[in-house]
């Protein structure tokens, strides 16, 4: 068993509490499924959002899909001129049998443009 970091991002359609919660849930569920993970293998989750997302903390969305006993941390992304808007990013630290090159990093919707080299 090794400790791995898994990245992902999603662009949501609007700055609303429901869109933020739904987007985080969709992203985390996709990461968990793609990497064959159970909640007890997740060590911690770091979530960021672009400065234009202010309606809710992304951690609320993580809790809604079962991440209630996992340490969560939210932060705001750097406000870079011309950056993709309405993006939530995550980095999960997990225990996994997968090798580093077998990890699936998940980028959904418009966020696929952020990392075309590793987006699934």
36: nearest Cα among 91, 108, 99, 96: 96
Catalytic residue among 74, 86, 97, 116: 74
Give the Cα separation of 19 and 81 in Å (integer): 23
CA distances from 45 to 13, 14, 48, 50, 62 (A): 23, 23, 10, 17, 9
Mark whether 77 is an active-site residue. Answer: yes
Catalytic residue among 89, 95, 97, 116: 89
Catalytic residue among 77, 85, 86, 102: 77
Q: Can you tell me which residue has the tokens 């992902």?
A: 8
Catalytic residue among 4, 19, 86, 107: 107
First to last CA, the chain: 24
Catalytic residue among 17, 33, 63, 85: 63
Mark whether 86 is an active-site residue. Answer: no
Catalytic residue among 85, 95, 115, 116: 115
Strand 2-11, strand 87-96: pairing? antiparallel
Mark whether 4 is an active-site residue. Answer: no
Mark whether 7 is an active-site residue. Answer: yes
Catalytic residue among 7, 19, 64, 86: 7
Mark whether 74 is an active-site residue. Answer: yes
Catalytically active residues are 7, 63, 74, 77, 89, 107, 115
């Amino acid at each position: 068993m090794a400790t791995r970091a898994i990245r992902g991002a999603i662009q949501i359609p609007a700055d609303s509490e429901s869109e933020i919660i739904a987007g985080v849930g969709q992203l985390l569920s996709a990461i968990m499924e793609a990497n064959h993970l159970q909640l007890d293998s997740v060590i911690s989750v770091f979530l960021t959002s672009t400065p234009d997302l202010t309606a809710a903390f992304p951690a609320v969305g993580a809790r809604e899909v079962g991440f209630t006993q996992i340490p969560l941390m939210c932060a705001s992304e750097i406000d870079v001129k011309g950056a993709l808007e309405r993006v939530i990013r995550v980095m999960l630290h997990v225990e996994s049998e997968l090798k580093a090159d077998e990890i699936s990093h998940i980028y959904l919707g418009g966020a696929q443009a952020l990392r075309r080299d590793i987006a699934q």
